[in-house]
């Protein structure tokens, strides 16, 4: 076989084209992160000055008085996310394990499809659903209803992510356990699930970060609360909802607090993502091929 | 085939409760519509090494995986005929597969230690049977590692990840993991095909020592290896056993032309 010589002119054109295309891709990559950078910069400028110890430890002050914090909203968000995790993680992980281990089962195909549909469901619909079953019958808003709405959003996220992680466990490990005499369920739990665990933890953290900022499902479930409340059957404050209320108020003081709350919320999500990154990193360090 | 083997003293098909004796009678196996094994009748002597040779796709591995019923996990497979291990029909409805797989250990082509410590890997099998005491477990792990000549190499780092070992060490760890169950039969599916010659030699020496205690069945593509390590050799071709005899005879004076063609490298 002979190699056809390339004329210097077409070679130059090829190089130039390559350079232009690489440049365009690089530009797209920068543009993709630009909104986040702008947003973070703006938040820092507007909100950082309002963040102090009082923001985390004090209650909101009445209109007209300056200062005050968002202790109730921060604790409220933690409680809501806790309820959501208690519902979403066990159900999601169990379902994901089932989908991965019984890939061909008819039930698995159905559940997989429904999970994808649920993932695409607007979050406000999830809020209406929780309102219908948990708010309307009892006649008042509650932290529980908000947590359930967020938990229901978490389930499909965790399910699909767990399934993907479990599928990365090599067949050879399953066979090794089975060949040692491990029954299937024990192979699934003590070999497959344990090996996939770092990945599942990462997925769970990403899901938590994702729902921690949800506002729509909370509008008519957790509703919000200007006072200190940790009761599960009472309305509860949350950071996203507080941002929503404060941002649309006419008071400058509240606007500043809303910026600060947004910054704290983003900080929380970033922190969770960083932990997730770290867990993933240690997984790749620990497990070979 | 031949009639000069001492283990053929009793008529075929009769159950004998000899530990480690493997007897296959008229065994057929299908993956969906495709028949992978045809009328396999093979007697594997206890406390010996039997090599299964033959070109790729001839059914050696399928047969091996039938001996511990690992093929059960593949959907849409079926079989007819019988396989007995130590006199027990392993496909009988009442057989406990967990118990069978502890009696018949397996080592795979690609070493597959669990991503845990060296100690935990060996302890996995014993832990399946209740909760052995710490001291018992230590003793079982040490003995299994000694039998695979791995003890001196790893005794100071039992808590380290098994994945920190070299390929050959990982494969010997997998053998130790299987031995910790105290099996009567050990199946090896091309255990050395991804190892260098020195690691291969270590494993072959190991097999030589282990065969005084248990039955070893090894699938190999390496004919020199079959000649070196095995006492008997069975030649598989297109899902059938073409010839089964003492290894020396298979390699020096095979009775079937196709065996000779394969061994002399005319095909395969």
> What average pLDDT score do residues A265-286 get?
75
Identify which of A115, A87, A83, A81 has the alpha carbon closest to the alpha carbon of residue A211: A81
Which of A77-86, A199-208, B240-249 comes out lowest in average pLDDT?
A: A199-208
CB pair distance less than 8 Å for B102 and A181: yes
Within-domain flag for A62: no
- Could you count the other beta carbons within 10 Å of the beta carbon of residue B69? 19
Query: What pLDDT does residue B14 have?
Result: 52
- Could you count the other beta carbons within 10 Å of the beta carbon of residue B232? 24
Query: CA-to-CA distance for B170 and A225, rounded, in angstroms?
Result: 59
Report yes or no: B234 and B243 within 8 Å, Cβ to Cβ.
yes
Within-domain flag for A208: yes
Q: How many domains does chain A have?
A: 1
Within-domain flag for A55: no
| Residue A287 sits at the chain B interface (C-beta within 8 Å) | yes
Residues in chain B within 8 Å Cβ distance of A170: 112
Q: How far is A279 from chain B (nearest CA, A)?
A: 16
Q: Which uninterrupted H or E stretch holds A8?
A: helix A8-47
Within-domain flag for A78: yes
Q: Which domain holds residue A243?
A: 69-288
Identify which of B25, B48, B45 has the alpha carbon closest to the alpha carbon of residue B37: B25
Q: CA distances (Å), B189 to each of B64, B108, B200, B217, B257, in order?
A: 7, 5, 14, 8, 26
Task: Provide the CA B140 distance to its chain's centre, in angstroms.
Answer: 21
Instruction: Say yes or no to pLDDT of A254 above 90.
Output: no
Instruction: Say yes or no to pLDDT of A1 above 60.
Output: no
pLDDT tens-digit profile, chain B (268 residues)? 444 444 444 444 455 678 889 999 999 999 999 999 999 999 999 999 999 999 998 999 999 999 999 998 888 999 999 999 999 999 999 999 999 999 999 999 999 999 999 999 999 999 887 778 899 999 999 999 999 999 999 999 999 999 999 999 999 999 999 999 999 999 999 999 989 999 999 999 999 999 999 999 999 999 999 999 999 999 999 999 999 999 999 999 999 989 999 988 877 6
CB pair distance less than 8 Å for A172 and B108: yes
Query: CA-to-CA distance for A49 and A68, rounded, in angstroms?
Result: 13
Query: What pLDDT does residue B3 have?
Result: 40
For tokens 């970060």, name the residue: A209
Within-domain flag for A13: no
> What average pLDDT score do residues A148-174 get?
93
Query: What pLDDT does residue B15 have?
Result: 54
The chain A residue lying nearest B106, using CA atoms, is A179
| Residue B248 sits at the chain A interface (C-beta within 8 Å) | no
Which of B106, B115, B178 is the closest to A195 by Cβ?
A: B115
CB pair distance less than 8 Å for A179 and B70: yes
For tokens 């493997």, name the residue: B22
Six-digit token pair at A188? Answer: 């699934």
Instruction: Say yes or no to pLDDT of A183 above 60.
Output: yes
Query: CA-to-CA distance for A107 and A99, rounded, in angstroms?
Result: 9
Residues A50-66: tens digit of each pLDDT:
888 888 888 888 777 77
Query: What pLDDT does residue B10 have?
Result: 45
Give the ipTM. 0.85
Which comes out higher in pLDDT, residue B235 or A2?
Answer: B235
Pairing between β-strand B232-237 and β-strand B49-53 as defined by DSSP bridges: parallel
Which comes out higher in pLDDT, residue A146 or A2?
Answer: A146
| Residue A286 sits at the chain B interface (C-beta within 8 Å) | yes
Report yes or no: A66 and A253 within 8 Å, Cβ to Cβ.
yes
Six-digit token pair at A146? Answer: 């908000």
Within-domain flag for A58: no
**DSSP state string for B138-199:** HHHHHHHHHHTT-HHHHGGGTTSBGGGS-HHHHHHHHHHHHHTT--SEEEEESTTTTS-HHH
* Angle (CA) B65 B182 B125, round 5°: 75
The chain A residue lying nearest B66, using CA atoms, is A179
Q: Which residue in B114, B122, B175, B182 has the most chain A C-beta atoms within 10 A of its own C-beta, making it the best mutation to test that interface?
A: B114
| Residue B174 sits at the chain A interface (C-beta within 8 Å) | yes
> What average pLDDT score do residues A231-250 get?
88
| Residue A44 sits at the chain B interface (C-beta within 8 Å) | no
Residues in chain A within 8 Å Cβ distance of B112: 170, 172-173, 175-176
Six-digit token pair at B85? Answer: 């291990």
Query: What pLDDT does residue B9 have?
Result: 41
Report yes or no: A140 and A71 within 8 Å, Cβ to Cβ.
no
Q: A143-167 and A71-101 are packed helices; what angle lies between their axes, rounded to 10 degrees? A: 40
Q: A252-286 and A71-101 are packed helices; what angle lies between their axes, rounded to 10 degrees? A: 30
Ordered by where they begin, the domains of chain B are 22-112+185-263 (3.40.50.300)
Backbone angles phi, psi at B81, to 5 degrees: 90, -175
Query: CA-to-CA distance for A259 and B37, rounded, in angstroms?
Result: 72
Instruction: Say yes or no to pLDDT of A289 above 70.
Output: no
Q: CA distances (Å), A134 to each of A58, A140, A142, B115, B142, in order?
A: 30, 9, 8, 45, 59
For tokens 């992978």, name the residue: B36
Residues in chain B within 8 Å Cβ distance of A189: none
Within-domain flag for A131: yes
CB crowding B183-221: b at 16 or more within 10 Å, else e: bbbbbbbbbbeebeeebbebbbebbeebbebbbbbbbbb
Q: Which residue in A172, A181, A191 has the most chain B C-beta atoms within 10 A of its own C-beta, making it the best mutation to test that interface?
A: A181
Read off the CATH number of the domain in which A119 is found: 1.10.3720.10
Query: What pLDDT does residue B2 have?
Result: 42
- Number of helices (H), then strands (E), belonging to chain B: the values are 10, 10
Within-domain flag for A44: no
Q: Which residue in A180, A190, A198 has the most chain B C-beta atoms within 10 A of its own C-beta, making it the best mutation to test that interface?
A: A180
């Amino acid at each position: 076989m002979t190699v056809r010589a390339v004329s210097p002119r077409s070679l130059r054109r090829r190089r130039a084209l390559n350079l232009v295309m690489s440049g365009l891709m690089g530009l797209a990559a920068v543009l993709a992160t630009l909104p986040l950078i702008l947003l973070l910069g703006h938040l820092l400028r507007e909100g950082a000055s309002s963040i102090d110890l009082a923001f985390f430890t004090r209650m909101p002050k009445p209109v007209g008085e300056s200062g005050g914090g968002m202790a109730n909203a921060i604790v409220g968000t933690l409680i809501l996310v806790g309820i959501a995790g208690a519902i979403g993680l066990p159900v999601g992980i169990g379902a994901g394990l089932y989908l991965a281990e019984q890939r061909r089962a008819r039930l698995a195909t159905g559940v997989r499809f429904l999970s994808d549909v649920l993932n695409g469901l607007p979050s406000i619909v999830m809020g209406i659903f929780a309102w219908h079953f948990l708010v309307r019958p009892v006649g008042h808003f509650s932290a529980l209803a908000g947590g359930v709405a967020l938990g229901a959003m978490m389930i499909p996220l965790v399910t699909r992510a767990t399934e993907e992680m479990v599928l990365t466990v090599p067949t050879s490990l399953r066979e090794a356990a089975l060949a040692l005499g491990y029954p299937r369920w024990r192979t699934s739990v003590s070999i497959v699930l344990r090996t996939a665990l770092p990945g599942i933890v990462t997925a769970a953290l990403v899901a938590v970060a994702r729902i921690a900022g949800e506002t729509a499902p909370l509008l008519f479930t957790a509703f919000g609360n200007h006072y200190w409340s940790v009761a599960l059957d009472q309305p509860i404050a949350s950071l996203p909802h507080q941002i929503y209320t404060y941002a649309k108020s006419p008071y400058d003081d509240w606007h500043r607090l809303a910026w600060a709350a947004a910054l704290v919320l983003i900080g929380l999500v970033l922190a969770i993502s960083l932990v997730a990154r770290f867990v993933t990193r240690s997984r790749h360090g620990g497990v070979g091929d | 085939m031949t009639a000069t083997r001492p283990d053929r003293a009793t008529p075929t098909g009769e159950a004998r409760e000899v530990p480690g004796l493997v007897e296959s009678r008229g065994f057929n196996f299908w993956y969906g519509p495709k028949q992978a094994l045809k009328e396999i009748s093979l007697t594997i002597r206890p406390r010996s090494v039997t090599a299964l040779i033959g070109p790729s796709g001839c059914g050696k591995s399928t047969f091996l995986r039938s001996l511990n019923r690992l093929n059960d996990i593949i959907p849409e497979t079926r079989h007819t005929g019988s396989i007995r291990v130590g006199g027990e029909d392993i496909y009988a409805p009442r057989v406990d597969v967990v118990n069978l797989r502890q009696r018949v250990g397996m080592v795979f082509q690609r070493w597959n230690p669990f991503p845990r410590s060296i100690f935990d890997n060996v302890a996995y099998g014993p832990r399946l049977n209740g909760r052995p005491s710490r001291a018992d477990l230590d003793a079982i792990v040490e003995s299994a590692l000694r039998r695979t000549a791995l003890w001196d190499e790893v005794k100071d780092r039992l808590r380290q990840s098994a994945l920190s070992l070299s390929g050959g060490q990982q494969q010997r760890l997998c053998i130790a993991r299987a031995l910790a169950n105290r099996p009567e039969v050990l199946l090896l599916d091309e255990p050395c095909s991804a190892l260098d010659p020195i690691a291969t030699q270590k494993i072959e020496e190991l097999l030589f020592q282990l065969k005084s205690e248990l039955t070893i069945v090894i699938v190999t593509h390496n004919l020199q290896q079959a000649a070196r390590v095995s006492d008997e050799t069975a030649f598989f071709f297109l899902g059938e056993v073409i010839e089964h005899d003492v290894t020396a005879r298979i390699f020096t004076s095979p009775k079937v032309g196709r065996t000779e063609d394969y061994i002399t490298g005319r095909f395969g």
